[in-house]
Amino acid sequence: MLKKILIANRGEIAIRVMRTCREMGIETVMVFSTADREALHTQLAAEAVCIGGPRPEASYLNMPGILQAALSTGCDAIHPGYGFLAESAEFAELTDAAGLTFIGPRAETIRQLGDKANARQLMSEAGLQTIPGSPGLLSSVEEALSVADEIGYPVLLKATAGGGGRGMRRIDKPEEMEEGLQSARREAKLGFGDEGVYLEKLILNPKHLEIQILADSHGEIIQLGERDCSLQRKRQKMIEESPCSLISDDLRHQLGEAAIQAGRAANYLGAGTVEFILAPTGEFYFMEVNTRIQVEHPVTEVLTGLDLVREQIRIASGAKLAMTQAEVKLRGHAIECRINAESPTNGFRPSPGRIEQFNLPGGFSVRVDSAMYSGCEITPHYDSLIAKLIVHGSSRRDAIRRMRRCLEEMIVDGVDTNVGLLYVLLFENDVIRGDYDTDYVEDNMEQLLKYASLMESE
Ligand code: ADP
Ligand code: ADP
Ligand code: MG
């Protein structure tokens, strides 16, 4: 069993991983940048090492610095959290080479799946239905035009190394292709250091459904049901829930089976998420695999009673999965809201600053994962997530009511947040029915913001 783990991350996920380690009797070492001296993950740490300046490249992406910190503090493993180095195959390799355990999939799996065009090809060969599009990376405008002509517009140009909702460009007609492909390549090179771009049909009015999987080193793999992450802005998730109220048990079963098939095809190890797009026709397509713990993993934890970080650590230690597929029971309904320090009425501009007063909701069946406190400073260096609010309900209606109540209790003074927007969303008819797609928030943004500002001015 692992004895001491370095947590190569910050914010709520660093604390979330530390909590599980403590419960397992595993020692932890935190790392922090000079901008995070007062951050909660630094303050709560039993042991913490400063690894560089505020810029991520100097600290949370500083591979030699992090490895050095792990070795000098006597750690035997590294947990990367999400974001930063979590999906770096190179970092996983370097961790192994340093004689440490990387808590995540094998480096070659990360590499194979982190290249989205490659993952798409792999899954297509494994028999999964992928979104119609180019077989691999686009090699010319002519190829892009001919594929698009065949599958029909609109199409999406996607950066093969993209992530976090970035690196996608919609093309509505052939005339836009040449210029679009050029810009997509340029932006991909700039944003992700890889100009590879592939093409997919843009599925209109889809749902984003994803399946959590767990695979151990003994060849066992299980799936823990779906999460509906269709409430998005700019292709980034805002609210996630499980189960999805619109799909049949048959479709749910098919999605689960497809996710396991995907995991097997990639020789998967650890916790992962297989993302699918569900078209209004009822057909679903493989989209990508996230080879890490995800932001929205608590939704699944609440429904299954499984601690996914604990499972990650156990799997990395060579243990068998804690349960079989038949033992997986999903109970009730869970919803997560991502609360960001941002200003919805100013184009969602990040809103750094000091949080003067911070009050978190609590009570029955409520979980909050956060790294903020009254008086803390939100610096502009990192992402704007300030808390994840997760509620469990006996039914979907119960969960929605509980989430509304929690958002009412939430106090964040000093910075702008999206709390008002999340709140009004939970009163929308389509949201109450569960009948929303990935375009819903943006299509209704003007109206939603109007309601949100009315609520806040009272
Ligand atoms: P999830 O898929 O769990 O919802 P997100 O897509 O929101 O998570 O990403 C989790 C974190 O990882 C965010 O901080 C996001 O900005 C970051 N992220 C994910 N993929 C990439 C990438 N390829 N490049 C940069 N940041 C990324
Ligand atoms: P990322 O790596 O940034 O998470 P994904 O490929 O998972 O990128 O796509 C992010 C989001 O973009 C999806 O949740 C979905 O809303 C939208 N999207 C991606 N591909 C398509 C597509 N072919 N058709 C429609 N929407 C898509
Ligand atoms: Mg994705």
DSSP labels, 28-91: EEEEEEGGGTTSHHHHH-SSEEEEE-SSGGGTTT-HHHHHHHHHHTT-SEEE--SSTTTT-HHH
Whole-number Å distance, alpha carbon 305 to ligand 2 midpoint, is 29
Name residues whose C-beta falls within 8 Å of residue 334's C-beta, 6 or more positions apart in sequence: 241, 242, 298, 299, 300, 302, 303, 390, 391, 392, 393, 399
- How many whole angstroms separate alpha carbon 239 and alpha carbon 388? 10
Q: How far is CA 314 from CA 224, 232, 302, 311, in A?
A: 17, 33, 19, 5
Q: Coil, strand or helix: which one is 407?
A: helix
Structure tokens at 179: 């210029």
CA of 142 to the centre of ligand 1 (A): 32
The answer to whether residues 286 and 130 touch, using CB atoms and an 8 Å cutoff, is yes
Q: Which ligand is nearest to the CA of 235?
A: 2
Report the candidate in 435, 364, 450, 351 with the shortest Cα–Cα distance to residue 399.
364
Q: Is the minimum distance from the CB of 241 to ligand 1 under 6 angstroms?
A: no
* Ligand located closest to 192 CA: 1
User: Does residue 227 have an active-site annotation?
Assistant: no
3-state secondary structure of 349: strand
Alpha-carbon torsion, ordered 92, 95, 97, 99, to 10 deg: -140
Ligand 3 midpoint to CA 230 (Å) = 11
pLDDT of residue 456: 75
Ligand 1 pocket member 233 (CB < 6 A) = no
* CA dist., res. 65 & res. 77, Å (int): 15
Give CA–CA dist 196/162, Å, rounded.
10
Q: Are 258 and 223 in contact (CB under 8 A)?
A: no
Q: Which residues contact 263 (CB under 8 A, 6 or more apart)?
A: 213, 215, 221, 272, 274
CA of 165 to the centre of ligand 1 (A): 7
Distance CA(447)–CA(236), nearest Å, equals 20
Which phi and psi (to 5°) does residue 360 adopt? -100, 145
Q: With beta carbons less than 8 A apart as the criterion, state whether 380 and 373 touch.
A: no
Spot the catalytic one: 16, 111, 120, 292. 292
Rounded to whole angstroms, the Cα distance separating 418 from 214 reads 32
- The pLDDT score that the predictor gives to residue 384 is 95
Residue 167 Cα to ligand 1 midpoint, Å, equals: 12
* Nearest CA-CA partner of 117 in 28, 216, 194, 223: 194
Q: Report the alpha-carbon distance of residue 343 to residue 351 in Å, rounded.
A: 6
| Element of type H or E holding 285 | strand 284-290
Neighbours of ion ligand 3 (CB under 5 A): 275
Q: Is 284 helix (H, G, I), strand (E, B) or coil?
A: strand
The span from the CA of 197 to the CA of 133, in Å, is: 12
- 430: helix, coil or strand? helix
- Using CA atoms, how far residue 172 sits from 40, 333, 441, in Å, is 46, 38, 21
Residue 416 Cβ < 6 Å to ligand 2: no
The answer, yes or no, to whether any atom of ligand 1 lies below 6 A from the CB of 290, is yes
Enumerate domains of the chain plus CATH numbers. Answer: 4-103 (3.40.50.20), 132-201 (3.30.1490.20), 207-457 (3.30.470.20)
At 232, is the secondary structure helix, strand, or coil? Answer: strand
CB 256 within 8 A of CB 328: no
> Which residue has tokens 């230690």?
317
Q: Give the nearest ligand 2 atom to 229 CA.
A: 14
Ranges under pLDDT 50 in the chain: none
277 lines ligand 2 (CB under 6 A): yes
For the CA of 287, the nearest ligand: 2
Distance, in Å, from the CA atom of 158 to the CA atom of 367, rounded to the nearest integer, reads: 35
- Nearest-5° angle of CA 388, CA 391, CA 395? 150
Of the candidates 252, 209, 273, the residue with the CA atom closest to the CA atom of residue 436? 209
Task: Choose the residue to mutate in 9, 13, 82 for probing ligand 1, maximizing ligand atoms within 8 Å of C-beta.
Answer: 82
Pick the atom of ligand 2 nearest to 166's CA.
3
Ligand 2 within 6 A of 362 CB?
A: no
d(CA 252, CA 223): 11
